[in-house]
A and B are shown apart, each in its own frame.
Chain A
Amino acid sequence: MFLEIKNLSVKIENKKILKSLNLNINKGEVHAIMGPNGSGKSTLANVLAGKEDYEILNGKINFKDNDLFDLNIEERAQEGMFLAFQYPVEIPGVNITPFLHSAINSKRKRLNEDEIDNLSFAKLLKSKASDLGINIDMLKRSVNTGFSGGEKKRYEILQMSILNPDLAILDETDSGLDIDALKIVTDGVNKLKTKDNSFLIITHYQKLLDYIKPDYVHVMVNGSIVKSGSCEIAAEIEKDGFQKFQ
């Protein structure tokens, strides 16, 4: 199994957020998790990425034959886990290019691959950026600093395409995007999609799923997955809301 979440319960500041959650993702699959605000979707994303604010009460997560809890944040990233943030943080003064260059090399180091030199990296970055319709001038700026909401999300997708993860988690990447930006972001995801990588897409709205076709849709309510199935569930939610699942 590529990613196996078994009976996961998590709390933060005395509040239980995830309750005996189970989820399996195979290589090459696209999964979408939908749910109302406060259902624990973002918590799940952050627990997978390794954010340290949470207390794991119970359960196990297996990722590419590793016990995920044995790996810290950067080790998970280097193993091929990528989280596209809902609210990417600004890092003033840190230029995008060297930032991503360091990131890709730390991953290559863990995989015992040769580091990529400055010149090859600059070429790679340029070509990926133009694939995503990102202006080259943006690459001269500091990480997320002064970016509009849409720019931040596009930059997340650019990072994803550079780091080429095995498992990409998109945490409400569609929120705050107009249709044009949404198209650019979802095009990026569709281009990246291969039979060897997997996606976990967290979203509040059905709109995103007009552009990305998931293999499975899960409904998350109150910290657990209450229903799983095909794309049709998304249509049901669009029609009737989350009410009937609660």
Chain B
Amino acid sequence: MNSDTLNTLDTYSKNKYKYGFVTEIDDEKPKKGLNEDTIKFISLKKKEPVWMLEWRLNAYSKWKKMKEPKWANLSFPEINYQDIYYYSAPKGFDKKPKDLSEVDPKLIETYNKLGIPLEEQKVLAGVAVDVVFDSVSVATTYKGELEKLGIIFCSIGEAIQKHPDIIKKYLGSVIPPGDHSFSALNSAVFTDGSFVYIPEGVKCPMELSTYFRINAENTGQFERTLIIADKGSYVSYLEGCTAPKRDDNQLHAANVELIALEDAEIKYSTVQNWYPGDEDGKGGIYNFVTKRGLCAGKNSKISWTQVETGSAITWKYPSCILKGDNSIGEFYSVAITNNFQQADTGTKMTHIGKNTKSKIISKGISLGKSQNTYRGEVSFLRKAEKARNYTQCDSLLVGNQCGAHTVPYIDSKNNTAVIEHEASTSKINEDQLYYCRQRGLSHEEAVSLIVNGFCKQVLQELPMEFAVEAQKLVSISLEGSVG
């Protein structure tokens, strides 16, 4: 870690969750609760075509018959779906602002505070950003430049209006609305999110990024992201998330679908820092996320990298369906839980095509009284000749009151499949801390250094600009856990 990072750490340590502020802004919400009227309200607000409303209502009727999946190693009170607002927009967003001069200055200030300036010239060099505030997309930067290459990067709402054919073809094609109750819920009430289409043969020249922010109280955020990489194309996409500190739990149930056609590659990175709740376990985001990628074509590749430090509850399994022959799926994960956080996260790799390969690197770090579970499923279907998987799950425990669990499932219907699995659990060793401190590092710096070292294999998969951010985030998440 360099001196800048240490400096930043000092600054951060004065404020435990620095994104916990609330923006005072008039917002517009329907009545609380989930019913057909709420869905009609959302669809109307989004000026959606009739087919989209029908799609939503169809998902809603499925949801009504479903129960939440209960197999995860998580405990939380029953979610009251009728006590949640399903849509919240800063007032006056009926029409999406054409440029930044039409955006409420308070919103711009909020994003500046979060370190996400909307003005293009200030945006991290070479990163195009789509920003979602509660339920609506606020601004997409660098749009013009991307359009020249034929790349479509806009909010999903806009895509439904402007590119209905692509949406109809792909939306719900990887995560069917009836997959499980959270995907049905999302399909019924999703509000905004990003849409990306990379045309054939185009390598997207910059990182595409979405920033999600939950501001309004008692509001769920149900974003939907759809990324399609056409033949021979490449895109790297990053999402980041924060939310204000609130005593109540807030629900976040996102769906992300990726489709990689022949020879295409999608790299999807997440830095998730939703409000985790306080030291006593009060408040925090319930994060029930479904992320799934389809390697549809030959030689395609989908790579998920996630750094999960926030949320009271994380339920998330970014997965790959390796349908095309020779396709590759990767999952790199760092999950840190502190205080009373609970994380049950991992991946699913489904090998369908010949010579498909998957790689799973999971690093779980548990501190305080938290529980951290890796759950993974690797399956080889009958036709998956010579498919391979490599899985490595490492857990690091800090203190005596936390828990780390590893639950790997393997299912092989093809005897040519090769599976390697390595797992380890370790504790931060007192001798290591003594050694670091004897060189002048504080206890917290030493833990942070060791944990960052433990995660390095995953952090280095992140795009450069964000690797440093992620390192800082890792350090912040460890606060108050030692000493």
Contacts and interface: CB of A to CB of B under 8 A. Distances in A.
B445 interface: yes
List 3 A-B pairs, minimum CB-CB distance, nearest first: A93-B453, A94-B453, A103-B439
Given A82-B438, A83-B438, 4 more contacts: A73-B438, A93-B450, A95-B453, A163-B440
A225 interface: no
A101 B2 contact: yes
A84 B6 CA distance: 25
B177 to A, nearest CB: 42
Interface string B448-478: 0110111111000000000000000000000
B440 A92 contact: no
Interface in B415-450: 429, 431-432, 434-443, 445, 449-450
17 contacts: A73-B438, A74-B438, A77-B440, A88-B435, A93-B454, A93-B456, A98-B1, A98-B449, A102-B2, A102-B3, A102-B445, A102-B449, A103-B440, A106-B442, A107-B440, A118-B2, A142-B453
Given A89-B432, A99-B449, A106-B445, A74 B3 contact: no
Interface in B371-407: none
A110 B436 CA distance: 16
Interface residues of B, number: 26
A203 interface: no
A91 interface: yes
Interface of B: 1-3, 6, 429, 431-432, 434-443, 445, 449-450, 452-457
A43 interface: no
A117 B453 CA distance: 21
A89 B429 CA distance: 10
Nearest to A162: B439
Contacts of A99: 436, 439, 449
Interface string A54-82: 00000000000000000011100110001
Nearest to B4: A118
A103 B2 contact: no
B450 A106 contact: no
B435 A106 contact: no
A51 interface: yes
A94 B450 contact: yes
Contacts of B436: 91, 99
B453 A106 contact: no
A100 B455 CA distance: 19
Q: Which of A72, A98, A159 has the most CB of B within 10 A?
A: A98
A88 B445 CA distance: 19
Contacts of A118: 2-3
Contact of A89 (B435, B441, B456): B435
B438 A77 contact: yes
A211 to B, nearest CB: 25
A105 B5 CA distance: 12
A166 B245 CA distance: 47
A49 B434 CA distance: 9
A85 B439 CA distance: 11
A236 interface: no
B374 to A, nearest CB: 19
A115 interface: yes
A89 B428 CA distance: 12
Nearest to B456: A93
A10 to B, nearest CB: 16
Given A93-B456, A106-B440, A73 B450 contact: no
A36 to B, nearest CB: 25
Contacts of B429: 89
Nearest to B439: A103
Contacts of A142: 453
Contacts of B456: 93
B432 A106 contact: no
B460 to A, nearest CB: 11
Given A78-B440, A85-B435, A92 B453 contact: yes
A101 B380 CA distance: 47
A89 B440 contact: no
Contacts of A98: 1-2, 449
A71 B76 CA distance: 44
Contacts of A94: 449-450, 452-453
Nearest to A53: B430
Contacts of A91: 432, 435-436, 449-450, 453
Q: Which of B431, B432, B441 has the most CB of A within 10 A?
A: B441
A102 B438 contact: no
A142 B440 CA distance: 18
B437 A73 contact: yes
Q: Which of B3, B440, B442, B445 has the most CB of A within 10 A?
A: B440
A106 B431 contact: no
Q: Which of B432, B438, B443 has the most CB of A within 10 A?
A: B438
Contacts of A159: 439
B472 to A, nearest CB: 14
